[in-house]
Amino acid sequence: MTRKIAPLVIAVAGTVLPCLLAGTLVGVVFRSNFWIWTLGLAAISFPWMLMNRVHTRFYRGILSGKSLIENIKYAYTSTEYYPRTSLFGSSWWNWYWGFFRRHF
């Protein structure tokens, strides 16, 4: 059980903190509504992080014994555990943008 707690904490932090950081960088520019920008952009970017399976790669990377730096590179750049749709067998990103280019 304790072997799984550290990877879980790192996976959650590695997924949530970059979302908050993106909002914070924009919120610093617009100080009058800092929290609206910070939480708004974090809420928008969080589903994209989940769809890209960053949390899964963080968790599996720590369990496989990667160091923190190796795990960060692996989680954000690897295509392992990348989501696939059953439609055309391509990635969700290509299907998503292909759909919107055709219909809108």
pLDDT tens digits, 12-27: 888 899 999 999 999 9
pLDDT digits (tens, 9 = 90+) for 58-83: 888 888 988 889 988 988 888 777 66
56, 57, 52, 61: which is closest to 82 by C-alpha?
Answer: 52
Mean pLDDT to the nearest integer, 78-96: 61
**pLDDT at residue 54, rounded to an integer:** 86
| Tokens (6 digits) for 38 | 């910070």
- CA 72 to chain CA centroid, Å, is 11
**pTM score, whole prediction:** 0.67
Structural contact between residues 51 and 44, judged by C-beta atoms closer than 8 angstroms? no
Which residues span the domain enclosing 15?
Answer: 2-103
| The pLDDT value given to residue 95 | 58
Whether 33 shows a pLDDT value over 60: the answer reads: yes
Q: Where are the alpha helices (DSSP H) in the chain?
A: 2-29, 34-51, 54-63, 68-77, 92-103
Residue 100 pLDDT greater than 80, yes or no: no
For residue 6 the two structure tokens come to 């550290």
* Residue 56: per-residue pLDDT: 87
- Structural domain count of the chain: 1
Q: How many CB atoms lie within 10 A of CB 5?
A: 9
